[in-house]
Amino acid sequence: MRLRKVWIIAAKDFKIFRKKKGIIYSIVGFELFVSIGLPLILKYGGSKTGGIPAAALPAVIDSFSFWFVIGAALLPMSLASYSLIGEKVQKSLEPLLATPITDEEILAGKSIAAAAPALIATYLGAAIFMIIVDRITHTKLDYLYYPNRSMAVILLLMLLATFFSIGFNILISSRSNDVRSAQQIGALIAVPLGAVYILSQMKVISLTVTNLLIMAAILAVVDVVVFYFAKSTFQREEILTRWK
Amino acid sequence: MIDVNQLTKRFEGVTAVDGLTFRVDKGEVFGFLGPNGAGKTTTMRMLCCLISKTSGEAKVGGYDTGNDNDSLKIRKMIGLVPDNVGLYEELTAYENLDFYGKLYERTEAQRKEAIERYLRIMGLQGKQDQPVGGFSKGMKQKVALARALLHNPQILFFDEPTVNLDPESAKVVRDLILELKGQGKTIFLNTHDLDEAQRICDRIAIINTRLLAINSPAELKRSLGGKQVIFQLASISDAIVNTVKDMKRKNVKVESNRIIVDVADPQKENPDIVREIVAAGGDIQFITESSPDLEDAYLKIVGESK
C-alpha cells in the first residue's frame, strides 16, 4: 500500500468536507454539547438542593464520558456517508478505479478521511471535558477526578467505535444510494451504545473499568468481523457490478 | 496496442461478452458499436482492468489485464471517459483535475500546465475555479475529457464522449480525437453515433454479446452489396407496385409516392424498371440512387444476429 496515494484520497475528501458546512457544524455542535454542556450540569444540576452529592459524582461523570463513545460512533458515520455514497451518487468511483490505485488504497484513504476529523474532534472534546470536569469537581471531591483508568478505557472505546462505524458504513454504502438514508441506517449503531448509557443511568449496569474493558474486547472482535466483510465488499468488481 | 482473444464475461450465468477476438493497432481509432446490453461497456471495463474476465485473454499495451501487477501498469497508460462523467460536484474544475493529476503522479508544474492547456482546448478557460456542480452537462463532459488526457495516456477509452455535447462542442471533441490519433495515440471509442463512427473511426467492430463484424466503415457499407434506387412518381397504384415486384426484385419498398428498389447493377437494371413502371401507367418525376450507409450496414448485421 502506497501511503502517498492513500493521503491523496483522504486529502480530496477533506477538501469536500470543508465545503460542506453542515458536516462541520454537526461535529462542532456535538462536541460542544458533550465537552462543555454536560460538565455544566455537574456545576448547576440540583443547585437548589446543594448540587450533586460528592459520592454520586464519579458515577455521573463516568456516564457523561460515555457520550464520547457514542459520538465516536456517530460522527464518522456522517463523514463516511458523504465520502462513500457521495462517490456513488456522483458516479465518480469508475474513473477513480481506472487510475493506478488499488482498492485497498482507496478504502484506506476513505477510512482516514472519515476517522481523522471525528477522532480529532472527539479526543479534543474529551480533553476539554476532563479539564472542565476537574475544575468544577475538584473542590467537592477533594481530588482531581481526571486523568483516570476509566477515561483511558473510554478513549480506547472511542477508537474502536470509530472503526466500527466506518466498517458498518462501508457495508451500508453497498446497498444505499442516498446519503441521508445511509446516515439514518448508520445511526442504528448508536442504539446498543445508547442502551448501555440508559442501562447505566437505570443502574442496571455500572460503567466500571472492568465492564468498559469487556465492552472494548467485544467491540474489538466486532470490528475485526465488520472490517473483514467491509474489505470484501469494497472490491472494484463488486462496486461496479453489484453495488445498488 | 490492444489484443483480445476469446474474451468472455459471465455474470451469474448470464453471458455478457462471448468469445470476443480482435486487435487494435497503435494510432488507430477503433469504434465499438452495438445495441444496448451488447457488452460494450463490459468489454471496455475489462480492458481498463475495472472488472475481471471469466475466460480468454486481453492484453493492453502488452500487459495482461488478468495480472494484478500488470493492471496497475495498464491503468497508468490509459485514460478513460466513462459514460457517466463522475466528477466531484463540490470541487472546482481545477481541483477535480488536480486530484487526478496527483493520482497519476504528475508534479505540480506538470499538473498546472496540463490542466490549463486542456481547459483552454475545451473552451473552459476562466471557469477553472468554479465548482463543477454548477456546470452544464456538456461542460462536465469536457472536464471529464480533460481528466482523461491529463497524464498524456497512450491509449484512450471513450464511452459516448459526445453524447451530452452541442454540435459545436461535439466537433471540438471529434477534432481532438483526430488530433490525438495524429499524435499516435490509440483510441477505443464506444458510441451509438453511427455518423461519428463513420467519420472518425479507422475500423469498427459491431458486437451483440459476440463479435458480429469488424472492418473499416467503407468495407462494412460495401459488404451490404448493391445500391438502392428511388423512383419518385406523380402518383402510385397497386398495379405499378405489383409490376415492379413481379420483376422478382429482392427488396421493394413503397413510401408515399416513392418505390425503393434494391439493385445490384443500376446501370443495367434501371432502364428495365423504368420501362415497366411507365408501361403500368406510372409518371416518373425523378430517379435517385442511394448507397447503403453505415446505419444500413449496422441494422442489417445486428438484425441478422437476433
B62 backbone φψ class: left, alpha, beta (φ>0; ψ -120 to 50)? left
pLDDT at A181: 82
Residue type, A149: R
Cα A46 from Cα A55, distance rounded (Å): 14
For residue B239, pLDDT beyond 70: yes
In which element (H, E) is residue B18 found?
A: strand B14-24
| CA neighbor of B38 nearest in space, from B9, B4, B5, B79 | B9
* Helix, strand or coil, per DSSP, at residue B20: strand
Given an 8 Å threshold on Cβ–Cβ distance, is A100 in contact with B104? yes
ipTM topping 0.90: no
Q: In chain A, what are the domain boundaries? A: 3-242
Residue A237: list chain B partners with CB under 8 A: 50-52
Q: What is the tens place of the pLDDT at every residue in B77-95?
A: 999 999 888 999 999 999 9
Question: How far apart are the C-alpha atoms of A60 and A200, rounded to whole Å?
Answer: 9
Mean pLDDT of B136-148: 90
pLDDT of residue A80: 86
Q: List, as one string, the DSSP characters of A125-175.
A: HHHHHHHHHHHHHHHHHSS---S-HHHHHHHHHHHHHHHHHHHHHHHHHTT
Tell me: pLDDT of A47 over 80: no
DSSP bridge pairs for B187? B29, B156
Determine the Cα–Cα distance for residues B285 and B274; give it in Å rounded to an integer: 11
Closest chain B residue to the Cα of A16, Cα to Cα: B90
Would you call A90 and B87 a contact, using CB atoms and an 8 Å cutoff? yes
Of A5, A19, A92, the CB nearest to B103: A5
CA B216 to chain centre: 12
What does the mean pLDDT of chain B come to?
A: 89
Q: What is the distance between the alpha carbons of residues A104 and A156, in angstroms, rounded to a whole number?
A: 25
Full DSSP string of B59-117: EETTEETTSHHHHHHHHHHEEEE-SS----TTSBHHHHHHHHHHHTT--HHHHHHHHHH
**Per-residue pLDDT tens digits for A16-27:** 999 888 888 999
d(CA A133, CA A143): 11
3-state secondary structure of B32: strand
* Dist. CA B195–CA B201, nearest whole Å: 10
Whole-model pTM: value is: 0.83
Which of B56-60, B223-227, B244-248 has the least mean pLDDT? B223-227
Amino acid at B301: I
Instruction: Write out pLDDT tens, residues A139-148.
Output: 888 899 999 9
Rg (CA), chain A: 20
Cell numbers given for A106: 482507496
Partner-chain residue, chosen from B51, B72, B82, that has the shortest CB–CB distance to A95? B82
Q: Is the pLDDT of residue B206 over 80?
A: yes
Q: What is the pLDDT of residue B167?
A: 86
**How confident is the model at residue B254, as a pLDDT?**
87
